[in-house]
Amino acid sequence: MLFQVNERIRLAHEYFKFAYFFTLSKEAFRVGDMLYWFISNLTSDVTEITEDKFNLDIRKLDLARDLGYKDASSFRKRTDKRNGLTVWGELAKVGFEFCDGHRFLQGRKVIKAKKTTIQIPLVFEQIDWESVQFPSFFNTRRDKFIGDLRSIEYKINKLSNEKNEVKWHDIDYENNSIRTFKIYQFRHTSQEKIDALLLRQYCWLATRCGGTLSSSIGQQQIMSQFKAILQYTCGGNYWIQDTFMKMAYNLPTSLSELNKRIRYNYKSVTARFHMSEYGLQYDKIIKEDSMEQKREKRLQHQITDLENKLNSASKSKYEVLKEELGKYKRDENGVLIGDADGRWGSYLSGLLSKAKNEELMRDKEEKYRMTELKCNEIISHTYSGSDYEFIYF
- The residue among 255, 275, 277, 279 whose CA lies nearest residue 267 is 275
Euclidean distance between CA atoms 253 and 206, whole angstroms? 10
Euclidean distance between CA atoms 182 and 242, whole angstroms? 10
Euclidean distance between CA atoms 204 and 172, whole angstroms? 9
Euclidean distance between CA atoms 303 and 125, whole angstroms? 69
Euclidean distance between CA atoms 258 and 224, whole angstroms? 14
pLDDT in the model for residue 43:
80
pLDDT in the model for residue 177:
78
DSSP string, 204-269: HHHHTTT---SSHHHHHHHHHHHHHHHHHHTT-HHHHHHHHHHHTTS--SSHHHHHHHHHHHHHHH
pLDDT in the model for residue 160:
82
- Rounded (10°) CA dihedral 249, 254, 255, 259: -60
Euclidean distance between CA atoms 386 and 268, whole angstroms? 88
The DSSP H or E segment spanning 97 is strand 97-99
Name every residue whose Cβ is closer than 8 Å to that of residue 112 and which is 6 or more positions away in sequence: 103, 104
Q: Is 132 exposed, middle or buried (0-12, 13-18, 19+ CB in 10 A)?
A: middle
Euclidean distance between CA atoms 364 and 362, whole angstroms? 5
The DSSP H or E segment spanning 104 is strand 103-106
Euclidean distance between CA atoms 180 and 200, whole angstroms? 9
Q: 16, 32 in Cβ contact below 8 A?
A: yes
Q: Is 4 exposed, middle or buried (0-12, 13-18, 19+ CB in 10 A)?
A: exposed
CB hemisphere CA count around 83 (13 angstroms): 9
pLDDT in the model for residue 85:
86
pLDDT in the model for residue 1:
42
- The residue among 187, 184, 282 whose CA lies nearest residue 242 is 184
Q: 183, 241 in Cβ contact below 8 A?
A: yes
pLDDT in the model for residue 36:
93
Task: Print pLDDT tens along the chain (393 aa).
Answer: 456 788 889 999 999 988 888 888 888 899 999 999 988 888 877 777 777 888 888 888 888 888 888 888 878 877 776 677 888 888 988 888 887 765 544 455 544 557 788 888 988 887 777 776 776 776 677 778 888 888 888 888 888 887 777 788 888 787 777 877 888 777 777 888 888 888 888 888 888 888 888 888 888 888 888 888 888 777 678 788 888 888 888 888 888 888 888 887 777 766 666 555 555 555 555 566 667 677 777 778 878 887 887 788 777 777 777 777 777 776 666 666 666 666 777 777 777 788 778 777 877 777 878 887 878 777 776 655 555 454 444
